[in-house]
Amino acid sequence: MGIKPLVLIGTIALGAIVLIGALSLVPINRTNPAVTYQMQWDSPQTKAIWDRACKDCHSNETVWPVWSYIAPASFLIANHVSDGRRQLNVSQPPGGRGGFAGKINDSERQINSGGMPDPLYVPLHPDSALTAAEKAQLIAGIKATFSAAK
């Protein structure tokens, strides 16, 4: 390889690094708003499975990973968390139609279909992968917990 292709590759690589760095500086909302509601979980087991598989996107106690600070992953993750919280947030008093009880059927459907936890999330958080028994336990626990949540 002559010198010219190397210079070209180097320039492109440097450009990519500068671009990723610049994009990573775009302000992104990675905040955890105050917890204003304490979900009364039906059992510590339900809470433990929920914490492993759902908490990061459906509570105000998100653990933001290192890669959530690097573009373009940062945009995707911040969007997921804000969309997830809008749909279901166990850190805030129930609002909207049906409250928490109204999320029971959707939760069951999502867990059974493999839609939740998000398939993009699982490989990066191996702990969130649930066995069939854990899924059944989480669904039963969500039913008991959300139907009693006021």
Does the protein bind ligand HEC through residue 52 (CB under 6 A)?
no
- Looking at 121, 145, 146, 149, which residue binds ligand HEC (CB under 6 A)? 121
Among 62, 100, 118, 146, binds ligand HEC (CB under 6 A): 118
Which span sits near ligand HEC by CB under 6 A: 30-38, 64-72, 84-92, 93-101? 84-92
Q: How many CB atoms lie within 10 A of CB 80?
A: 16
Minimum distance between the CB of residue 93 and ligand HEC, rounded to whole angstroms? 17
Task: Label residues 90-114 b or e (16+ Cβ within 10 Å = b).
Answer: bbeebeeeeebeebbeebbebbeee
Smallest distance, ligand HEC to C-beta of residue 105, A: 8
User: The tokens of 110 are what?
Assistant: 């999502």
Which residue, among 57, 125, 116, has the nearest Cα to 91 in the 3D structure? 57
All residues at 6 or more sequence positions from 43 whose CB lies less than 8 Å from its CB, including other chains: 141
Residues 121, 70: Cα–Cα separation, whole Å: 16
Residue from 107, 141, 145, 146 in contact with ligand HEC (CB under 6 A): 107
Contact pick of 74, 91, 100, 103 for ligand HEC (by CB under 6 A): 103
Residue numbers of the site for ligand HEC (CB under 6 A)? Answer: 53-54, 56-58, 80, 83-84, 87-88, 103, 106-107, 110-111, 116-118, 121
